[in-house]
Amino acid sequence: MRFWFSVWGLIWAAVGTVAFALAGRPQWAIACGVLWLVITVDMALIVRHIRQGPHYQPGRDVPPYEPPRT
């Protein structure tokens, strides 16, 4: 769900950057461009975490696994 929220934000930031640039509002275009960059970095992290898959991290109360006996 976080990925799709990022896609939605990426679209709006891109549209906002272009719209404000065309409207002659450079400060708002820069602000939307910076937001666009932040969202892009966040999406890269989200995709990285999705590709890593689930990772089980036991708490401190779970003893370590014994090595297999060969």
d(CA 36, CA 33): 5
Q: With 0-12 CB in 10 A as exposed, 13-18 as middle and 19+ as buried, what is 21? A: middle
Radius of gyration of the chain (CA): 21
pTM of the model: 0.70
Six-digit token string for 27: 């400060």
Q: What is the pLDDT of residues 18-51, one digit of tens each?
A: 999 999 999 999 999 999 999 999 999 999 888 8
Domain ranges of the chain: 1-52
Is pLDDT larger for residue 60 or for residue 5? 5
Residue 55 clears pLDDT 70, i.e. is over it: no
Residue 57 clears pLDDT 70, i.e. is over it: no
